[in-house]
Amino acid sequence: MAAQAESRPRYGGPVRVLLHDRVVSLDPAGEDDHPAARDRVASLMFETLTDVDAQGHARAKLATSWRVEPNKRVWQFRLRIANFHDSSPLNATDVVASLTRVNPSLKCTAIDRQTVNIETPAPVTHLPEMLALEKYAIVKRTPETPLLGTGPYRLNEWQAGERAFLSVNDDYWAGRSFPDTIEFIMGATLRDQLAERHLGQNSGAELTLDQVRGVEGANQNISLSRPSDLLVIFFLQSETAPAAAGKKTIDPRVREILSSATNRAAINNLLLQRKGAPASGLLPQWLTGYEFLFPGNFDLEHAKQLRSETAGLIIIPKISLAYDFSDPVAKLVAERVALDAREAGLSVQPYADSHVNQRSSRTAMSADAVLLRVPLASLEPSVATAAIMDDLGAADSSAALSATRPEDVYEAERKLLENFRAIPVVRIPQALWLNLGLHNWQQMSNGAWQLDQLWTEGLR
Measured CA to CA in angstroms, residue 341 lies from 20, 173, 261, 447 at distances of: 30, 55, 6, 31
Write the DSSP assignment of 82-143 as a string of letters: -B-TTSPBP-HHHHHHHHHHH-TTSEEEEEETTEEEEE-SS--TTHHHHTTSGGG-B-B--S
Q: What are the tens digits of pLDDT across the range 380-394?
A: 999 999 999 999 988
* Number of residues that this document lists for the chain: 460
Query: Can you give the pTM of this predicted structure?
Result: 0.92
Q: How far apart, in whole angstroms, are the C-alpha atoms of residue 176 and residue 255?
A: 53
Q: What percent of the chain has pLDDT over 90?
A: 73
Of the CA atoms within 13 Å of residue 391, those in its CB half-sphere come to 31
Q: Are strands 50-52 and 58-60 parallel, antiparallel or unpaired?
A: antiparallel
What's the pLDDT at 196? 45
Average confidence (pLDDT) over 7-13? 85
Measured CA to CA in angstroms, residue 439 lies from 221, 247, 363 at distances of: 12, 51, 44
Q: How far apart, in whole angstroms, are the C-alpha atoms of residue 200 and residue 207?
A: 15
Q: Any idea which architecture 57-136 has in CATH?
A: Alpha-Beta Complex (3.90)
Average confidence (pLDDT) over 61-68? 98
- Of 3-17, 372-386, 440-454, which gets the smallest average pLDDT? 3-17
Asked if pLDDT for residue 355 goes beyond 80, the answer is: yes
Neighbours of 80 (CB within 10 A): 16
CB burial of residue 181 (10 Å; 0-12, 13-18, 19+): middle
Asked if pLDDT for residue 236 goes beyond 50, the answer is: yes
Q: Is residue 153 within 8 Å of residue 177, measured between CB atoms?
A: yes
Q: How far apart, in whole angstroms, are the C-alpha atoms of residue 291 and residue 411?
A: 12
Q: What are the tens digits of pLDDT across the range 365-417?
A: 889 999 999 999 999 999 999 999 999 988 788 889 999 899 999 999 999 99
H or E, element range at 66: strand 63-68
Neighbours of 175 (CB within 10 A): 9
Q: How far apart, in whole angstroms, are the C-alpha atoms of residue 150 and residue 46?
A: 6
Q: Where in the chain is the domain with CATH 3.90.76.10?
A: 57-136
Q: What percent of the chain has pLDDT over 70?
A: 93
Measured CA to CA in angstroms, residue 420 lies from 63, 232, 238, 303 at distances of: 40, 11, 11, 13
Q: How confident is the model at residue 199 (pLDDT cuts 50, 70, 90)?
A: low
Q: How confident is the model at residue 100 (pLDDT cuts 50, 70, 90)?
A: very high
Residues 6+ apart with CB under 8 A from 278: 264, 265, 267, 268, 296, 425, 426, 427
Q: Give, in words, the CATH class of 10-44+151-225+430-456.
A: alpha beta
What's the pLDDT at 189? 62
3 state SS of 27: coil
* 232, β-bridge pairs: 372, 424
Q: Any idea which fold 229-428 has?
A: Dipeptide-binding Protein; domain 3 (3.10.105)
Q: Is residue 165 within 8 Å of residue 181, measured between CB atoms?
A: yes
Average confidence (pLDDT) over 94-107? 96
Q: What is the dihedral of CA 373, 378, 383, 384, to 10 degrees?
A: 30
Q: What is the dihedral of CA 20, 25, 26, 27, to 10 degrees?
A: -140
Q: How confident is the model at residue 3 (pLDDT cuts 50, 70, 90)?
A: very low
Main-chain dihedrals φ then ψ at residue 211, nearest 5 degrees: -95, -20
Average confidence (pLDDT) over 265-271? 96
Q: Is residue 437 within 8 Å of residue 219, measured between CB atoms?
A: no
Q: Where in the chain is the domain with CATH 3.10.105.10?
A: 229-428
Q: Where in the chain is the domain with CATH 3.40.190.10?
A: 10-44+151-225+430-456
Q: Is residue 326 within 8 Å of residue 243, measured between CB atoms?
A: no
